[in-house]
Structure 1
Amino acid sequence: MKFKQHDAQNQRIERITSHHLVIGIDIAKETQIARAVTYRGIELGRACSFKNDVLCFQKLLSWIKSIQKQHNKTGVIIGMEPTGHYWLNLACWLLEKHLEVVVVNPYQVKNNKENRDNSPTKNDTKDALVIADMVKNGYYSPLRLPTGNYQALRVLMSDREFVIKQFITIQNQIHRWLDIWFPEYHRVFKDWSCKTSLVTLRLFPLPSELKILSPEEIYDKWRPHMKRRASISFARALVEQAQQSIAQDVAPEQVKRSLLFLLDQYETLSTHLAQLEQEAISLLKDIPQAQRLLTIPGIGKITVAGILAETGDLGTYRHGRQVLRLAGLHLGEESSGKHKGQVRITKRGRPGLRKYLYLAVLHLVVNNEEFRALHHHYTLTRKMKKIHSIIKLCGKLARILVGLVHQEYDYTPEKVITAIPAA
């Protein structure tokens, strides 16, 4: 299928013939609704209601086959909304039965709900018919579910994102604790997460405890917990800041317990994060195309893992623009008559892929000579804003990623800078 959007749209419409039965399924947590139409939008049979279990999935399959037999339809295409996670089990079950499954954009379903009856009414039965109409009109996307190592990579990177969010929350809570109960602490330790600081926070976190200690006593108490201890000057600075502290001296036991809980959570999440990243990097060794992508100077292993976790097998994409659309980094505008709208990225896609592509380009502009030269050309010669240049380079990177996989060659710098005209 061609990568240009209007050509792909026409091909999606043309491939649905009079022999096809088009099924639209409205997804829910417990009860789904399915409706069937012809390639012209004529509804066949009655709506089928079924639940999320294998017996009801068999009921759906029997319903589809009965309509096929009754109306002499040889092909079936099933469309559904990717609603949360409720659709995944049904989609995988249908794929195992060798049925074609596609997905439609929930936002488009909402916008198309008045096509048939010119009514704002919205319910599950109507939505199933709207989805079927959208599929027969070609308003769908092929389903790309990751399998094998790609699925394992997606699970790992999803867990990593969850841990990072919790990790940041705990860090902010520790910052808050220090600002309230020992605001002068950062004058001694610029980085509170260093080894010496973490040991200090566990041993004597409150200024009231440090006031009664000498620098030598603090230094001696560090000894069992660290092979390389901070200098005596750090201990002396701690005592000085504790004596000048403006923090309140109330409920010391409860305050210390609060900090110890936060530190335990911080260390646990640090360990989990390191384990997830190590496992993801190890998994990349079993993915051949990952090794090819790592030949790009300036792109890291975690970044490659994140991109492959979001896209799956890059060999299934025919052009980098498909990856760009999946990330929601393709451009859109709202113009009418004399009004010229501003061109923006649509953000209709996977936010995780959008983040990894954007961060990858930021690193490449700093560490990759070819991307740095392109960025300078766009900003200095073509007078583009820096953010516009970065977004344009995201498209360049997407095309490079797909090209490396399809053409099976390593990164070639000469091919990257062909966009810069010779002086």
Structure 2
Amino acid sequence: MNLTLFVGIDVSKSSNHVYAMNLNRDKLLSTNIPNTQDGATIIESKLCDLLMKHRLSKIIVVLESTGVYSAHLATYLSNSKYLSIYDSRVFIINPKISKNYRRSFSDMDKTDPKDAFVLADIARVGRTDGLTPFKGAQRLALERLTRHRLHIAELLSTEKTYALNNVFLKFSEFESLFTDNFGKTAVELLLEYHTTDDIIRSSLEDLTAFIIKSSKNRFSDSEAVATKIKAAARASYRLDKTAYDPINLSLASSINVISCYEAEIREIDKAIIRQVAGFNQIHYDVLISIPGIGKVFAAGILAEIADINQFESDDALAKYAGITWRKTQSGKFEAEDTQMTKTGNKYLRYFIIQAANMARQFIPEYRDYYQKKFDEVTTHQHKRALALTARKLIRLIYGLLSTNRLYQ
């Protein structure tokens, strides 16, 4: 006789619907409880009462991944000292699992009690076998860090775009000079010279000395760089003198903000590397074995995937990340541009695309694939090629993680 209590919890911002059953699918509990700390304590108490009343020795709790709304309850139940007596396991599953399983109940209405029933039944039929139980605070902490990194990275990108608008007004040919528009030498050039006329009036010797000092003599030919800068200054538009002061002030402010964001990202990266230690170490080692995928991107991918066994194929993983495309076709016409769906997990999508951008620089097969896709179209070449390379990388990630193999 199976002595397991199967529990499904449908989570929303304000409340949690809890449904509990035994192996025979007998309803033991169906109730709605506030999604609060006190509510979590009530759920814990009710589940303990059921375990004692029906003399059960094991409990499996299943919740859907619903962002921050399921995090507190899953953490609380997975760390419960009272439930741990009963061999408790808490699983947060991909919503696609429950959506697909629900199709077997074709005549069922979509209501909170029914959703909770479906989750409980997923546990009852063994769909959680092979999945990794929720690791509570450690995964939540890692996820918060990696998602915050994306938040700061987006702010940094926005600020750089905004700053470049002011850069163009001040020095319209500036972006042709440096590979990194916000590198040390580029930034010091923007701050040191008030106008492009100041650069033109500066002697070649003085400008060369400035380049040597600001770059710490890292250019192979600093005089050639200085000559190029003077030529760009001559080719640039001029503004009325009254416009330069506010533009320079805005630029200085943006550069300070950019510097702050970059410093924050460095600190967050250190925290991510500390936090990921020991969290699913096998899969972490698999990810960092792929050339170009560093520790931070590996941690970001791991925090979002959580358990590769949730996904039945690399297609399922790609859909979860939103790295799929809708065809645009009419008769014999097929559009060159097709929009990425972007309906999945934006955090996973970000880390996989960033990882793909690095992988193409280290793995010849991915470099050649990227270039092939780049050359196939005339618009949005980089974005398209990188997205397709990311889809190719997903096949590799899924294959390695699902078999626990290192990249070779």
Q: TM-score, normalised by structure 2?
A: 0.66
Partner in structure 1 of residue 258 of structure 2: 266
Instruction: Compute the displacement of 1:164 (Å).
Output: 1.8
Is residue 41–residue 133 contact of structure 1 (8 Å, CA) maintained in 2?
Answer: no
Instruction: Compute the displacement of 1:166 (Å).
Output: 1.7
Alignment of 1:20-99 (within 5 A): 20-37=4-21, 43-44=27-28, 47-53=31-37, 55-68=38-51, 75-96=58-79, 97-98=83-84, 99=88
Report the AA paired with residue 398 of structure 2.
Answer: A
Report the AA paired with residue 271 of structure 1.
Answer: A
Secondary structure of 2:69's counterpart equals: coil
Report the AA paired with residue 121 of structure 2.
Answer: K
Report the AA paired with residue 197 of structure 1.
Answer: A
Q: List alignment gaps of at least 5 residues for structure 1.
A: 1-16, 335-344, 380-385, 414-423
Deviation readout 1:193-233 (Å, 9 max, x if unpaired): 23222112112243465566565666677787564395387
Partner in structure 1 of residue 334 of structure 2: none
Q: Percent identity?
A: 19
CA–CA distance in 1 between the matches of 2:30 and 2:137? 38
Instruction: Compute the displacement of 1:46 (Å).
Output: 5.7
CA–CA distance in 1 between the matches of 2:359 and 2:30? 55
Instruction: Compute the displacement of 1:238 (Å).
Output: 3.6
Instruction: Compute the displacement of 1:173 (Å).
Output: 1.1
Residues 1:185 and 2:148 aligned together? no
Instruction: Compute the displacement of 1:259 (Å).
Output: 0.8
Q: TM-score, normalised by structure 1?
A: 0.64
Alignment of 1:10-409 (within 5 A): 20-37=4-21, 43-44=27-28, 47-53=31-37, 55-68=38-51, 75-96=58-79, 97-98=83-84, 99-103=88-92, 106=95, 126-137=111-122, 138=125, 142=131, 144-146=133-135, 153-189=142-178, 191-207=180-196, 210=199, 227-228=216-217, 230-231=222-223, 234=226, 237-238=229-230, 241=233, 245-278=237-270, 280=272, 289=282, 290=284, 294-296=288-290, 299-312=293-306, 325-326=316-317, 328=319, 350-353=345-348, 356-357=351-352, 360=355, 367-368=362-363, 391=391, 394-404=394-404
Return closer, same or farther for 1:374/1:396 CA change in 2, 3 Å cut-off.
farther
Instruction: Compute the displacement of 1:76 (Å).
Output: 3.6
Partner in structure 2 of residue 10 of structure 1: none
CA–CA distance in 2 between the matches of 1:323 and 1:236? 49
Instruction: Compute the displacement of 1:397 (Å).
Output: 4.0
Computed over aligned residues only, the root mean square deviation of the Cα atoms, in angstroms, reads: 5.1
Report the AA paired with residue 202 of structure 1.
Answer: L
CA–CA distance in 2 between the matches of 1:221 and 1:198? 12
Deviation readout 1:389-418 (Å, 9 max, x if unpaired): 97466334432345446xxxx65x5xxxxx
Q: List alignment gaps of at least 5 residues for structure 2.
A: 327-339, 374-384
Instruction: Compute the displacement of 1:91 (Å).
Output: 0.8
Number of residue-to-residue matches in the alignment: 366
CA–CA distance in 2 between the matches of 1:249 and 1:83? 55
- Structure showing greater Rg: 1
Return closer, same or farther for 1:67/1:144 CA change in 2, 3 Å cut-off.
closer
Instruction: Compute the displacement of 1:263 (Å).
Output: 0.4
Report the AA paired with residue 399 of structure 1.
Answer: G
CA–CA distance in 2 between the matches of 1:285 and 1:35? 35
Instruction: Compute the displacement of 1:148 (Å).
Output: 8.3
Report the AA paired with residue 272 of structure 1.
Answer: E
Is residue 297–residue 364 contact of structure 1 (8 Å, CA) maintained in 2?
Answer: yes
Return closer, same or farther for 1:140/1:258 CA change in 2, 3 Å cut-off.
farther
Is residue 109–residue 131 contact of structure 1 (8 Å, CA) maintained in 2?
Answer: no
Return closer, same or farther for 1:51/1:307 CA change in 2, 3 Å cut-off.
closer
CA–CA distance in 2 between the matches of 1:267 and 1:286? 32
Secondary structure of 1:192's counterpart equals: coil
Instruction: Compute the displacement of 1:265 (Å).
Output: 1.2
Deviation readout 1:360-397 (Å, 9 max, x if unpaired): 5676566446x579979xx9xxxxxx988974663344
CA–CA distance in 1 between the matches of 2:266 and 2:152? 10
